[in-house]
Amino acid sequence: MDFDGYNLRTQDIADVLATAEKALAVRLIRQESSYGTQGATIGFPSSDNTWVHLTWRRSTVVDGGWVSVEFASALTGVRKPALLRSHRWCDARRDVVWRADESELVQAAAVAGTGVLTDDPGLSDEWWDDLRNSLGHLAKHETRRVVMGQEHLGKRIAEVFGASGADTTITEWVTAHGDMHWGNVTAPQCYILDWESWGVAPRGYDAAILWGHSLPVPGVANRIQREFAADLSSRSGRLAQLLFCSNVIRLAKKGPTPGPLVEPATTAAARLLEELTSLA
């Protein structure tokens, strides 16, 4: 069967949902489904007042990242939903493996479902304290998981700015969430969602990703710079920001129309390159 599962919005997965319901002994509230930012995952509140998150992998590429949510359940000091149970099964008809994770239902909503801010959400000082403390505790956790390595970072930056750009050697590494956009944090209470990608990354990586997704709202982008000043002003933090900018610019060249991040990311990249050159 030809399964274009990358975007679940286009798929008939009624049988998959039925399997998840039976395995977890819950009823999914299907009219309240929520897709990931690119449609590759889907989640539902359940009849047991929990949250069920569905993901998939090709049968040939199920790896260590597949159990990332289970590993994340051991993290302490981080505001995240508690994992209750999981079920995984093979789907021979589609040649994929499905996973359903049932977790605590967080009543607070994602700050921005698209991941990118379009206006100021008016977050409280307590919210910023919770986020900063959570990422601080996470950074100290030891793991062998990797979310962003040196080779990939250097390659992406060089694709846009050339080999003659800034030295991309990272000297400070911490543990990061790895996908810190506004669709993965909630308000008014701060919870961090979707722990599929976490692992070691350059210092300031999470703050850099959240900053990048805030560029259309300068007030919030500036707030992130203040809240995470020590990380983002470090050399590794500046490289993490430059990586975000390079990804925006690289993808814009492939698309038909530029998105709202292209202009501010291009401006920020010029500043970051100048700063990194002066630090060399």
Report the distance separating Cα 165 and Cα 162, nearest Å.
6
The token pair at 163 is 């080999």
The token pair at 27 is 């009823």
Return the pLDDT at 70. Answer: 83
Contacts of 216 (CB under 8 A, 6+ apart): 116, 117, 118, 260, 261, 264
Return the pLDDT at 1. Answer: 40
**Diameter of the chain by CA atoms?**
59
Report the distance separating Cα 180 and Cα 190, nearest Å.
13
Return the pLDDT at 17. Answer: 97
Contacts of 168 (CB under 8 A, 6+ apart): 150, 153, 154, 157, 158, 239
Look-up of token digits 């990931």: 36
Residue type, 217: V
DSSP-derived 3-state class of residue 215:
coil
Return the pLDDT at 64. Answer: 55
DSSP letter for each residue of 97-147: EEEEEEEEPP-SEES-TTSS-SS-----HHHHHHHHHHHHHHHT---S-BS
Cα–Cα distances in angstroms (integers) from residue 153 to residues 68, 76, 129, 242, in the given order: 21, 28, 29, 10
The token pair at 89 is 């099964």
Report the distance separating Cα 275 and Cα 280, nearest Å.
9
Contacts of 181 (CB under 8 A, 6+ apart): 37, 112, 115, 116, 209, 210, 213
CA-based radius of gyration for the chain: 19
* pLDDT tens sequence across 260-272: 999 999 999 999 9
Report the distance separating Cα 190 and Cα 79, nearest Å.
7
Look-up of token digits 């969430």: 177
Tens of pLDDT, residue by residue, the chain (280 residues): 445 656 898 889 999 999 999 999 999 999 999 887 778 889 999 999 999 999 888 877 665 556 778 888 889 999 999 999 999 999 999 989 999 999 999 999 999 989 999 999 999 999 999 999 999 999 999 999 999 999 999 999 999 998 766 899 999 999 999 999 999 999 999 999 999 889 999 999 999 999 999 999 999 999 999 999 999 999 999 999 999 999 999 999 887 777 899 999 999 999 999 999 888 6
Return the pLDDT at 166. Answer: 80
Say how many C-beta atoms besides its own lie within 10 A of residue 27's C-beta: 12
Say how many C-beta atoms besides its own lie within 10 A of residue 4's C-beta: 8
**Which pTM value belongs to this model?**
0.90
Report the distance separating Cα 268 and Cα 274, nearest Å.
10
